[in-house]
Amino acid sequence: MASEEQKVVLITGCSSGIGLRIAVMLAKDEKKRYHVIATMRDLKRKDKLLEAAGDAYGKTLTLKALDVCEDESVRQCISSIKDRRVDVLINNAGIGLLGPLEAISMEEMRKVFETNFFGAVRMIKEVMVDMKKRRRGHIIVMSSVMGLQGVVFNDVYTASKFAMEGFCESLAVQLLKFNITVSMIEPGPVHTEFEVKMMDEVAKMEYPGVDPDTVRYFKDVYLPSSVDIFEAMGQTPEEIARCVKKVLESGRPRFRNLTNSLYTPIVAMKYADETGGLSVHTFYNLLFNFGPLMHITMSILKCLTCSCFRRRTISPN
Ligand SMILES: NC(=O)c1ccc[n+]([C@@H]2O[C@H](COP(=O)([O-])OP(=O)(O)OC[C@H]3O[C@@H](n4cnc5c(N)ncnc54)[C@H](OP(=O)(O)O)[C@@H]3O)[C@@H](O)[C@H]2O)c1
């Protein structure tokens, strides 16, 4: 059980990837400042987390079932916590969706919004009443660079993260009046199961009703570029966990937190031209006109961006 001095941190989606790493890093904090409630929708997937948590399990880390898409699951989990006390909520659970829009069903799109947007909203609604009463709290949302800049063939995933950014930007103002801080974490590519699951889905994908040109642009132009970008710019889940810890421990946490400074120019470009033309045409040229050049650039970047050269907006170190 958490002591009065410890912060109770509830994290969603801790069976793998970023959520797992944040949970373990905070639970192993040397000064034992956190009591982590690591949650996952399927407790059968707990082994990796418990193995990584080691001795911390049962001391500074508790495990609970929670499916962000189910009202009852969220209610039960929060009500099972002593005094419903959550000092820090980390909305991490999320799923991806990739491919030509014509090949994606409305049901698949709804699932992405149900998890990435409504799932996080459901969590925030459940904890904010108590945070407001206590006049204290921190809500952290695992957004993405794709919550700030649209990316071709990621239309629906991007939309779900944009929705979250707009929702939180609005809510943050009201919550500040109650001494509750909201922070968005905006990683670029991160090497987790997320990438693997998306590539598995793409491998199974069929393209009925999609014209051959679009299929070719997706498979032969977009996918190889995407692999290059992941290889050249990808961060590790540990790096993202360190960024989150830094945000958590900052005296005045920022609202927006890009974790990879290589993306700063892309976001700056968007805000430099309010017509949106600069972003749309730059991405168009990068993908369709300078594909081979982009491959070479990414290969050079891959060599240059070994960890000692990397400087990040929220440095994980
Ligand atoms: N990897 C990247 O490149 C990247 C980049 C930017 C942002 N992000 C964001 O980072 C977050 C974590 O992703 P990750 O990279 O760590 O991927 P991951 O390894 O696939 O982890 C996603 C986690 O979300 C959980 N989840 C999915 N649906 C859920 C639900 N309905 N209820 C509760 N948990 C659910 C998964 O649980 P199961 O094991 O049960 O499926 C898993 O634990 C996501 O929000 C993602 O959008 C990722």
Q: Say how far apart CA 21 and CA 191 lie, in whole Å.
A: 12
Question: What does pLDDT average to over the chain?
Answer: 92
From the candidates 57, 157, 222, 263, give the one annotated as an active-site residue: 157
Does 144 show up as a binding residue in the annotation? yes
The residue whose C-alpha atom lies closest to atom 19 belonging to ligand 1 is 17
**Phi, psi (deg, nearest 5) at residue 37:** -105, 100
Average pLDDT estimate for 297-305? 61
Chain segment 42-56, per-residue pLDDT in tens: 999 999 999 999 999
Does 18 show up as a binding residue in the annotation? yes
Q: Is 182 in the pocket of ligand 1 (CB under 6 A)?
A: no
Does 38 show up as a binding residue in the annotation? yes
CATH number listed for the domain at residues 94-309: 3.40.50.720
SS (H, E, C) the chain: CCCCCCEEEEECCCCCHHHHHHHHHHHCCCCCCEEEEEEECCHHHCHHHHHHHHHHECCCEEEEECCCCCHHHHHHHHHCCHHHCCCEEEECCCCCCCCCHHHCCHHHHHHHHHHHHHHHHHHHHHHHHHHHHHCCEEEEEECCHHHCCCCCCCHHHHHHHHHHHHHHHHHHHHHHCCCEEEEEEECCCECCHHHHHHHHHHHHCCCCCCCHHHHHHHHHHHHHHHHHHHHHHCECHHHHHHHHHHHHHCCCCCCEEECCHHHHHHHHHHHHCCCCHHHHHHHHHHHHHCHHHHHHHHHHHHHHCCHHHCCCCCCCC
Atom of ligand 1 nearest to the CA of 157: 47
Does 209 show up as a binding residue in the annotation? no
Domain coordinates in residue numbering, the chain: 94-309
CA of 19 to the centre of ligand 1 (A): 7
Chain segment 214-228, per-residue pLDDT in tens: 999 999 999 988 988
Task: Let me know: does 193 contact 265? Beta carbons within 8 Å.
Answer: no
Kindly indicate the confidence band of residue 266, based on its pLDDT and cuts at 50, 70 and 90.
confident
Average pLDDT estimate for 141-168? 97
Select from 77, 190, 259 the residue to mutate for testing ligand 1; criterion: most ligand atoms less than 8 Å from CB: 190
Chain segment 81-127, per-residue pLDDT in tens: 999 999 999 999 999 999 999 999 999 999 999 999 999 999 999 99
Q: Does 217 participate in catalysis according to the annotation? A: no
Q: Is 260 in the pocket of ligand 1 (CB under 6 A)?
A: no
